[in-house]
Amino acid sequence: MNRGKCHAYPADAADPWSIFWLHFAGERVDDFVKALALREDRPLLEVPKQPVMRDAFEETYRHAIDGFSDSGLLGLTTGLARLIALARIYSAVGSARARRTEDRIFVVD
């Protein structure tokens, strides 16, 4: 996804949005990109649960600035996995799956 390419994501001046930049690399990058349903022509993911995502992002960032200690790296990788999972759950991609699951659940009185 835009590896090695310049890219920009401008917000609408009348209706701006918040953006959390997250760049990561490694052997499993393609798996994460696929799980989040990101595409070359639309590398953005809209997640309406901003307070939840902001808290998860800030926690992950705090681990990132702690340095490269064992506990810092463990916190960073755990935080990144949590952030990706929350993005999947609360995005439109994750919401459709949740709705399909909810459709199969019923309560008998």
Is 2 part of a structural domain of the chain?
no
CA distances to 50, 85, 96 from 47, rounded to whole Å, are: 7, 12, 13
Q: What is the mean pLDDT of the chain?
A: 77
Is 86 part of a structural domain of the chain?
yes
Classified as helix, coil or strand, 100 is helix
Is 69 part of a structural domain of the chain?
yes
Is 10 part of a structural domain of the chain?
no
Q: How far apart are CA 92 and CA 86, in angstroms?
A: 12
- Asked whether the predicted pLDDT for residue 106 surpasses 50, the reply is no
What's the pTM? 0.64
pLDDT of amino acid 55: 92
Is 94 part of a structural domain of the chain?
yes
- Asked whether the predicted pLDDT for residue 104 surpasses 60, the reply is no
Q: Is 83 exposed, middle or buried (0-12, 13-18, 19+ CB in 10 A)?
A: buried
| Total domains, the chain | 1
Give the structural domain span for 68.
Answer: 29-103
pLDDT of amino acid 94: 54
